[in-house]
A and B are shown apart, each in its own frame.
Chain A
Amino acid sequence: MANKIIPIGPYHPLQEEPEFFRLHVDGETVVDIDIEIGYNHRMIEKIAESKSYDQVTFLVERICGICSTSHPFAYTNAIDDLLGVTPPERALYIRTIVGELERIHSHLLWLGLAGHFLGYNTVWMWAWRYREPVLDIFERITGNRNHYAMFKPGGVRRDFYEEDFPWIKKTLKSLIPKFDMFKGAVMDDPIIRARTEGIGVLTRQDVYDYSVVGPTARASGVGIDVRKDEPYAAYDKVEWKVITADGGGVFAKAVVRILELYESTNIILQCLDNMPKGDIELNIKDMPVGEGIGRHEAPRGEVFHYIMSDGGNSPVRHKIRAPSFMNIASNKKAVIGHTISDATIILAAVDPCYCCTERTAVVDYKTGKKVMDGQDLVRLSQEKTERMRR
């Protein structure tokens, strides 16, 4: 290319809020990676200080559009920890159902995007087509496709109606053959296997060093899962198992996510079966002085909320840590040594918020001139699939 500098205009047809990876490349292999975040910093923690405890649940819900119930889940856990109370049985079951439903819709969304990065646009269309029934269930039980506003300190905002249960069970059961199809498509397709196995590998030692969480860690055999380690809501009243795979590569992460789809469905079905009667919330009069820590296993990993209150109406300090904060940092280890065309799918394997991988840029190691931008990487990985197929 002529020595033109390619501007990575922030306005691009498919991207949302931008995080930014800059890969230092020596020829084809990635040598180093700069990770810049903060383009979309909305200072939510500052805004939270000006809102009352109840309003913060709505603010915290809008941190990330894809896992929009994980943050209120962890936040309400933190408040329950601060108060030292546990919400009524029925509220715990409702919380578990909403949490697991969101895991299904988030994993399906990721599956579609991974297909898109590997060059299978039909997988993208199909995955997002089978995500619609899950959003229909959400719309029926909570009133909105995302941002469900179901959670409240000390319980849940809305109750489930018994007559919805048969319909929800039928829709969920209808999804299981579709999951089998995806499992078949991903596990048995030689090209996807060849494209994703053995790249972007995180060893167990890396998992400890970078303290990664969620499917990223479970794919390397480290079975950490907040739902099992510190059972909250109804996770100890329902039997399910933590999915782990060894290998640690992109393929293992895909396998973990797909098997978790089945696990989530079976949790929801069990919760629907033995959902107790009773009221769905405690009314909380005042907030004592003190601090509370709440955690939830979001689709991408452990979400951590810390609240400090001085008895007033709004939190003195509200620390939020999304799982991607740790997982994105671990890309430094996962990407180095691989070719650029694999870079996109490795960065996407951590399932960061959708746009991170779009914003990757490749800087030529010697001249430091920008050589390719995020979209080239997407195409490079699509071509590699093409080469593999031939």
Chain B
Amino acid sequence: MNLKLKALTKSLWVYHLCVGGSCNNCDIEILDLLTPRFDIERFGMMLVGSVKHADAILVTGSLTLKSLERVKTVYEQAAKPCVVIAIGACACGQGIFANGPNTPNPVDSVLPIDIYIPGCPPKPEAMILGIVKLIGKLTGKK
């Protein structure tokens, strides 16, 4: 496995993108990942401030009408290779707000999503498992 892939998987910088229509529980669970008990910095992952630094975009919330175009522009700015992770039932399949008038289209109709982490909210362990699977997918061995 060449050095490039190894480097990418060993230091995955994460950017949190909340597309509106979320009950901020997944976002609290993402912040839980930084706290002492689940500390993801030991895997080399860091929450970064700008989408240009990010390798992985954590998408939470079911897309509201208002934030549709902004999500596209943010995604285009991310430096490739970039991975999109959908966190929580709302991002994976619009969850409980599916037939709401304000959240018509699911997230994966706008962004190419690589890993779906279901759960409402997904447990921090589930998120870490999701990222382990993502690394498995990137490095080719299942």
Contacts and interface: CB of A to CB of B under 8 A. Distances in A.
Q: Do chains A and B touch in the complex (CB under 8 A)?
A: yes
Interface of A: 9-18, 39-44, 46-47, 50, 58-59, 62-66, 68, 109, 125, 128-129, 132, 145-147, 353-355
Nearest to B60: A16
Contact of B21 (A42, A68, A353): A42
Interface size class of B (residues with CB under 8 A): 35 or more
Interface stretch (B1-9, B93-101, B109-117, B131-139): B93-101
A194 to B, nearest CB: 28
27 contacts: A9-B70, A10-B70, A11-B70, A14-B16, A16-B28, A17-B18, A17-B61, A39-B66, A42-B62, A42-B97, A42-B100, A43-B101, A44-B97, A44-B100, A47-B97, A47-B99, A50-B99, A59-B96, A63-B23, A64-B23, A65-B26, A125-B35, A128-B32, A146-B28, A147-B121, A353-B24, A354-B24
B64 A146 contact: no
A66 B121 contact: no
B51 interface: yes
Contacts of A129: 35-37
A158 B31 CA distance: 29
Nearest to A135: B32
Contacts of A17: 18, 20-24, 61
B97 to A, nearest CB: 5
B44 interface: no
Contacts of B66: 39
B17 interface: yes
Which of A14, A18, A43, A65 has the most chain B CB within a 10 Å cutoff?
Answer: A65
A1 B63 CA distance: 34
Contacts of A147: 25, 120-121
Given A10-B67, A47-B99, 13 more contacts: A11-B74, A12-B49, A15-B18, A16-B22, A16-B60, A17-B21, A47-B100, A65-B28, A129-B35, A145-B121, A145-B123, A147-B121, A354-B24
A46 B101 contact: yes
Interface string B53-64: 000000011101
B102 A42 contact: yes
Nearest to A18: B20
A17 B23 CA distance: 8
B102 A11 contact: no
Contacts of A125: 35-36
Contact of A65 (B25, B35, B64): B25
Given A43-B101, A62-B120, A129-B35, A13 B47 contact: yes
A29 B15 CA distance: 34
B25 A68 contact: yes
B48 interface: yes
Leading 5 A-B pairs by shortest Cβ distance: A65-B25, A16-B24, A16-B27, A65-B23, A128-B35
A198 to B, nearest CB: 31
Contacts of A146: 25, 28, 121
Nearest to A354: B24
Contacts of A9: 70
Contacts of B100: 42-44, 46-47
B20 A39 contact: yes
A41 B24 contact: no
Nearest to A46: B101
Given A145-B29, A145-B123, A16 B64 contact: no
A65 B121 contact: yes
B120 A42 contact: no
B54 to A, nearest CB: 10
B20 A40 contact: yes
Contact of A11 (B17, B24, B64, B123): B17
Which of A39, A42, A125 has the most chain B CB within a 10 Å cutoff?
Answer: A42
B106 to A, nearest CB: 14
A66 B24 CA distance: 8
B56 to A, nearest CB: 13
B23 A132 contact: no
Contacts of A16: 18, 22, 24, 27-28, 60
